[in-house]
Structure 1
Amino acid sequence: MNSFSDTAGASPPAQSVEISPDTKSGRLSDSDGVGGPTIKINVSYGSSLHQIHLPAQSTFGDFKKLLVNKTGLESEQQRIFFRGIEKNDREKLHLEGVKDKSKILLLERAASKEKKLEETRKLNEMSKAIEAITGVRAEVDKLSDRVSVLEVAINAGDKASEKEFLLLTELLMKQLLKLDGIEAEGEAKLQRKAEVRRVQGLVDMLDSLKARNSNPSGQSGSAATGTTHWETFDTVTEDSNDPSSATTPSSTKVSQDWERFD
């Protein structure tokens, strides 16, 4: 009896107890920063599935920050749903029943989605505009080469057909109309403006070449006329400044008056 009572009164031997992740949350709070065991959450976003690892006592706001790099959506663009209910940033995961391997639904806010669609639309329109301008530029390149050939011929003293001038001008104006019909913004608008100036410059050059072609000696004749005018002007100027021609009569009269006075 005594031996039994001694045995019964003795303290039981120490036993090792395994601590579950849920019971050691307080001990992990210092290392995790936020607190709680690290859990894995499955996130469904459209046709994509992502996995996020974070402390169980994190907020949904913390959860959103980790989703930025995964999805490309900023925190303010995200809508988080758990068990069919949208969660706000201040609510904590573990208090709302989020556990390891829980599934969360991510949606993009409508305003953000519309903004992206608008940006995509603008990019597509710009791409189409640049493609159209590139096509016009290729045609203008060909016409520019023909204008250059025409210029070389006229500079060499050759005479070109009037039909060639009319045809090139008409073709250039068609390209100008194409450019006018292209709706463009941003970089595409700048490219269109530059090409319009280029076409207008070629049309002006054709007008000048056409005038020279119609009257090959007109330029030299104008130069001669201008020279004659300038020579006349110089002569008049020189005569007016020449003391012998401009002041002699007055001087003679004054001398005669003084002689009379004497």
Structure 2
Amino acid sequence: MSHNKETTTMSSNNMFSKGKKSGHECELRPGGMLVQKRDSNSDRNSDSAAMSTIMVKVKYGSAYHELRVSSHASFGELKKMLRECTGLHAQDQKLMFKKKERDSKSYLDVERVRDGSKLVLFEKIESRERRMLETLRIAKKEKTSKSLKEINHQVQPLAHKVSALEAGASTGEVVAELHIESLTENLMRILITLNEIFAEGDLKLQKSEQVRRVQKHIETLDTLKMKREKNVPQKIKAVEEQQLKHWDSVVVTTKWETFD
């Protein structure tokens, strides 16, 4: 008996040592069988070798869609394929398997989806509405940003002209009233456009900064106009009033021609 027990012990030791020499980790299965231990990667590779793709049947409304997909794909990848079939955005899809909604990050093989498995697809109405609102919000933000950039380009040349008038007035140069009125009118139009723009967050700060900038230029022109009123002789004022009337009539005529 002792001899047999010793022989059995030596035999078991030889089995373990053999497993170690081959470089593989072993595990003892129920019944005393010693086998090579399989990790998840080896399982996945062997499964892939046996069956890399499966056919699943998805019911959406009254229609059925048969899709061939990798057995190791995620539900999210399956949703992307279903989008091509149904036109339903992946974020708006509710994919059910065995009466339970499956997460997009879950894998088909892990959730035991097999060849010939049946799934049911529903549309997430609330998700679609949220996504549409978010799309509209982004589009509106992009439009506001574009409008503010365009206004900034419009203000730049006007700002240079205001600075030029201010510099000329500081050296004693007589500033033409026509120039002051024209610049003021253009800046007022821009100010009205800015007030009509709805902005949020960073864009709201950008809008407020542009409003302050335009208002500052208008205030500068008002100051130049008041100084001019005090210093310009009446004779020059009378000539300029005639120029202004002529300029107004040209503007009105131009507008009528445009409408015609």
5 Å-filtered alignment, 1:133-152, equals: 133-152=148-167
Q: Which residue does 1:249 correspond to in 2?
A: none
The answer to whether residue 209 in structure 2 is matched with residue 194 in structure 1 is: yes
Residues in 2 aligned to 1:42 and 1:28: alpha-carbon distance in whole angstroms: 32
Retained in 1: the 8 A contact 2:145–2:203? yes
Deviations 1:32-77 (A, max 9, x none): 4999955534678x9xx7834339xxxxxxx547769999967xx7
Structure 2 gap segments, 5+ residues each: 1-34, 61-66, 84-88, 233-260
* Counterparts of 2:162 and 2:39, CA distance in 1: 78
1:88 maps to 2:106: no
RMSD: 4.5
Question: Which consecutive unaligned segments of at least 5 residues does structure 1 have?
Answer: 1-26, 56-62, 218-262
- 1:1-262, aligned counterparts within 5 Å? 31-32=39-40, 37=47, 40-41=53-54, 51-54=69-72, 63-64=74-75, 78-81=93-96, 87-89=100-102, 98-100=113-115, 104=119, 109-216=124-231
State the percentage of identical aligned residues. 29
Distance 1:177 1:155, change over 3 A: same
- Note closer, same or farther for the CA distance 1:86–1:110 as it changes in structure 2 (3 Å cut): farther
TM (norm. structure 2) is: 0.52
The CA distance in 2 between the partners of 1:29 and 1:213, in whole Å, is: 96
Q: Could you tell me whether the CA contact under 8 Å between 2:69 and 2:78 is conserved in 1? A: no
**Cα–Cα, structure 1 residues 215 and 42, in superposed 2: closer, same or farther, change >3 Å?**
farther
Give the letter for the 2:193 counterpart. Answer: K
Q: Deviations over 1:141-181 (max 9, x none)?
A: 12112111111211121111223222211211110001111
SS of corresponding position for 1:215: helix
Q: With the length of structure 1 as denominator, give the TM-score of the two structures.
A: 0.51
Count how many residue pairs are aligned between Structure 1 and Structure 2.
176
Give distance in 2, aligned partners of 1:151 and 1:216.
Answer: 15
Distance 2:213 2:188 in 1: 12
1:51 counterpart SS class? strand
> Which secondary structure does the structure 2 equivalent of 1:140 belong to?
helix
Cα deviation, 1:93-131, whole Å, max 9, x if unaligned, reads 78x994237575655522222222111110100111112
Letter in 1 for 2:170: N
- State the 1:202 CA deviation: 0.5
How many Å apart are 1:183 and its aligned residue?
A: 2.0
